[in-house]
Amino acid sequence: MPELPEVEVVRQGLAPLVEGRRVKGVRSSGLALRAPIPLAALKKWVAGAVITQVGRRAKFLLLSLDNGALLLIHLGMTGKLYPADPAVAPRKHDHLRLLFDDGREIRFNDARRFGLVAVAPPAEAQAPALLAELGPEPLEESAFTAAYLYQRTRGRRPPIKNMLMDNRLVVGIGNIYACEILFAAGVNPFTPAGDLSRARIGRIVAATGPILRRSIAAGGATIADFANTNGEAGYFQQQLAVYGRAGQPCRRCQTPISRRLSAGRATFFCPRCQK
């Protein structure tokens, strides 16, 4: 489900719910997500600690603790965080519960279990292994530059769309926003990345920030079931130019939007506007 804008929307909603709160206890469903929930580490480093700050790196939520440890949460495809009353029975697919000393709790619900919960002890919290290979943040304009993307794509044959979704190159861009960014840049998603001119790379980079920021401002895109911490849908999906619009007229030229697979993922583009 969530790409960078959706995770950022969750971060913004989660921060006021948990910052300054002390975790009283943790509960897990016992079912593994992408990896087993590290209950021992959660009890050691999270239970009893105060959450000082909620940050984000790529699609990871980073909950800093006052003992120096770091709680990492990845929402995968269907992960949701929501506040709950501890007296109310967990919902189906609630896999982690963080109970606070003020009588509230936060639950992590993840039907498909592609999410991830990890704990970095204080010694690793500044450089968690899970974040070690990640490329720059696309909203950091000094890092995700045309010069950077141009250099990193030279000699590479994979389609530019697949490369934009590779978090070693740039983080946070998934299937929706890769399609949208390339439409805005007028670049065909199947173009081998290394074939793109400096000017076209520049258009891709220039299109990225505004699209991601507009989505964050709109509360993210809710295609099926994305929800913020209040359970509310976003509305950026109303502004999508190509994603999910196969057969519908291009908003710019009226040509029907195409849908083709790229690396097994549905890829939407305007065959006329994107060359």
Q: By the criterion CB under 7 A, which residues form the site for DNA?
A: 1-3, 6, 34, 58-59, 74, 76-77, 92-93, 111-114, 130, 156-158, 162, 165, 167, 174-176, 221-226, 263-266
Kindly name the residue from 56, 59, 200, 245 that is annotated as catalytic.
59
Q: How far apart, in whole angstroms, are the C-alpha atoms of residue 263 and residue 170?
A: 18
The answer to whether 91 is a known catalytic residue is no
The answer to whether 275 is a known catalytic residue is no
The answer to whether 265 is a known catalytic residue is yes
Distances (CA, A) of 245 to 176, 212, 240: 11, 19, 8
Name the packing angle between helices 175-185 and 198-217 (round to 10°): 130
Q: How far apart, in whole angstroms, are the C-alpha atoms of residue 105 and residue 96?
A: 10
Dihedrals phi, psi of 273, to nearest 5 degrees? -80, -20
Between 87 and 261, name the residue whose CB sits nearer to DNA. Answer: 261
Kindly name the residue from 2, 5, 138, 189 that is annotated as catalytic.
2
Q: How far is the CB of 6 from DNA (least distance, A)?
A: 5
Between 25 and 38, name the residue whose CB sits nearer to DNA. Answer: 38
Task: Judge contact between 1 and 75, C-beta under 8 A.
Answer: yes
The answer to whether 2 is a known catalytic residue is yes
Between 47 and 223, name the residue whose CB sits nearer to DNA. Answer: 223
Q: How far is the CB of 87 from DNA (least distance, A)?
A: 23
Burial 142-180 (b: 16+ CB within 10 A, else e): eebebebbbebbeebebbbbbbbbbbebbbbbbbbbbbb
Between 6 and 105, name the residue whose CB sits nearer to DNA. Answer: 6
Q: How far is the CB of 105 from DNA (least distance, A)?
A: 22
Q: How far is the CB of 169 from DNA (least distance, A)?
A: 10
Half-sphere exposure of 250 (CA within 13 A, CB side): 19
Kindly name the residue from 34, 44, 259, 265 that is annotated as catalytic.
265
Q: How far apart, in whole angstroms, are the C-alpha atoms of residue 85 and residue 148?
A: 47
Which residues does the annotation mark as catalytic? 2-3, 59, 265
